[in-house]
Homo-oligomer: A and B are copies of this chain.
């Protein structure tokens, strides 16, 4: 399950991308437009800033901005930073591998084998999709506007 934190982070990033403009957007505005609890969103945006995905400006006229080209902000990075490794099981993780203490032979473990396939499939999607690409794809796929 995607946590609310990760979901809110993605929604906020997408909103910032759509805003474009180079002007900072206030937390309060993002919270309202994306229907995210403001205090909760504060913590999320701060994390994204520490990670170098967002930058911020304090004081009057301040707010948050994308710190990177949206073509270089990948879903995988955001999901991992809030929800941890993509793999369903630590021994199948590429970025945070942990051996199963009780596993005599990983190469022969059926669960490991299948879960590695799941993690690879997931990573292929999330690490292959940037904010910019996703937005383009959605535009291409359907017609209309909105969020979720």
Residues of chain A having any CB pair with chain B under 8 Å = 1-2, 7, 10-11, 14, 35, 75, 84, 88-89, 91, 100, 102-115, 117-118, 121-122, 124-126, 129, 131, 134-135, 137-138, 141-148
B134:A89 contact, CB within 8 angstroms: no
Number of copies: 2
The dominant DSSP class at the A interface is helix
- A148 near B102 with CB under 8 A, answer yes
Closest to A14 in B: B110
Cβ B103 vs Cβ A148 within 8 A: yes
Structural contact, B88 and A147, CB atoms closer than 8 A: no
Q: A108 CA to B15 CA in the complex, in Å?
A: 12
Kindly state the separation between the CA atoms of A131 and B107 in the bound complex, as whole angstroms: 16
List the B side residues contacting A100 at CB < 8 Å.
Answer: 148
Tell me, in angstroms, the Cα distance from A11 to B138 when the chains sit together.
39
Instruction: Please judge, given known A-B contacts A2-B89, A121-B124, A125-B118, whether A111 and B11 are in contact too, CB under 8 Å.
Output: yes
The answer to whether B134 and A114 have CB atoms under 8 Å apart is: yes
Flag if A145 contacts B105 (CB, 8 Å): yes
User: Which chain B positions have C-beta within 8 A of A115?
Assistant: 2
Q: Find chain B residues with CB under 8 A from A106 CB.
A: 146, 148
Say yes or no: B110 contacts A135, CB within 8 Å. yes
